[in-house]
């Protein structure tokens, strides 16, 4: 597999990261949590192997919350500007979920799914070519490791 370089970071530049492999799965999430986290209409998530995610500058702070699944999720953010950068699930320590709006070029992310589509804001228009799931799918079903 060709290794692509994908750089990203927080709004203030204190935290920088690099993703060194193709994402395993990329999707837009229209859930309430993602709307609050981003202060916007939806979140863009990119799941990558843990070893493909490298912090190259700064040390994010972490907070842990319990997801609807009951699993603990650690969310990593910049202490200076508050940008939420990525998360990891205790249940899936081999993966990182990069919040892809923090990439320098989020346009490179090939979106495969729209999840929690039943919570999408009324003026959000989704590409009919992209699979649409009303709630939360088992994302592991879409990942080939």
Under the criterion CB under 5 A, does residue 31 sit at the interface with Zn ion? yes
Identify which of residues 7 and 51 has a Cβ nearer to Zn ion in the complex.
7
Identify which of residues 16 and 49 has a Cβ nearer to Zn ion in the complex.
16
The residue assigned the tokens 């999408």 is: 120
Q: In what order do the strands lie in the sheet with 92-99?
A: 61-66, 72-77, 84-89, 92-99, 43-49, 25-29, 113-115, 131-132
Rg (CA), the chain: 15
Percentage helix, strand, coil, to 5, in the chain? Answer: 15, 40, 45
Under the criterion CB under 5 A, does residue 79 sit at the interface with Zn ion? no
Residues 10-29 that bind Zn ion (CB under 5 A): 10, 12, 14, 29
Give the contact letters, 99-138, x = binds to Zn ion (CB under 5 A), - = no: ----------------------------------------
Structure tokens at 121: 């804001």
Options 48, 52, 78, 103; binder of Zn ion; rule CB under 5 A: 78
Query: Cα 123 to chain center, whole Å?
Result: 22
Give the contact letters, 42-61, x = binds to Zn ion (CB under 5 A), - = no: --------------------
Binding site for Zn ion (CB under 5 A): 10, 12, 14, 29, 31, 34, 78, 80-81
């Amino acid at each position: 597999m060709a290794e692509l370089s994908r750089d990203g970071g927080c709004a203030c530049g204190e935290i920088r990261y690099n993703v060194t492999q193709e994402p395993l799965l990329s999707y837009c999430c229209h859930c309430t949590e993602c709307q609050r986290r981003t202060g916007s209409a939806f979140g863009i998530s990119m799941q990558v192997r843990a070893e493909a995610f490298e912090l190259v500058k700064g040390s994010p702070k972490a907070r842990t919350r319990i997801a609807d699944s009951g699993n603990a999720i650690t969310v990593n953010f910049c202490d200076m500007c508050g940008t939420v950068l990525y998360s990891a699930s205790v249940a899936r320590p081999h993966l990182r979920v990069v919040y892809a709006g923090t990439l320098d070029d989020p346009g490179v992310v090939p979106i495969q799914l729209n999840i929690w589509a039943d919570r999408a804001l009324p003026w959000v228009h989704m590409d009919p070519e992209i699979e649409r799931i009303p709630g939360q799918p088992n994302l592991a079903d879409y990942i080939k490791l």
